[in-house]
Structure 1
Amino acid sequence: MNVMLPIPEKLPPDLYGRRERDPLLRVLERLMNAHMHSLRFLHRRDVVGESNDRRLPVVIMARRVEAHDENVVSFILAAPDGGELPTWRAGAHIDVEMPSGRTRQYSLCGDPADSKRYRIAVRRIPNGEGGSIEMHELAPGSRLTIRGPRNAFAFAVPGHGSAAEHLHFVAGGIGITPILPMMRLAHRLGVDWSMVYTGRSKDSLPFLGELAEFRSRIAVVTDDEGGMPSAEVLLTGSRSDSAIYACGPMPMIDTLGKGVQADSEFHFERFSPPPIVNGVEFEVELADTGQRITVAANQSVLDAVKPFRPDLAYSCKQGFCGTCRVGVEGRPEGMLICTERSAGGRLVLDI
Structure 2
Amino acid sequence: MITVSVPSPEVADALGDVGPDARVIVWDPAVSDPPEEERERITIACLAHFTGGRRLYGRLATCPDLKVIQIASAGYEHALPFVPPGVSLANARGVHDTRVAEMTLLLALASQRRLPRFLDSQRRGVWEQDLEAPSLADSRALVVGYGSIGAAIGARLRACEVEVEGVARTARIAADGTLVHAADDLLSLLPHQDLVVVVTPHAEDTDRLVDAAFLAAMRDDALLINVGRGKVVDTDALLAELGSGRLRAALDVTDPEPLPDGHPLWSAPNCIVVPHVAGVERLTNRRYTDLVRAQVEARRHGDDPVNFVMMGAFPA
Determine which structure has greater relative contact order: mean sequence separation of CA pairs < 8 Å that are 6+ residues apart, divided by chain length.
2
Q: Which structure has the bigger radius of gyration? A: 2
TM-score by length of 2: 0.33
The structure whose residues are more often strand, as a share, is 1
> Larger % of helix: which?
2
- TM-score by structure 1 length? 0.31
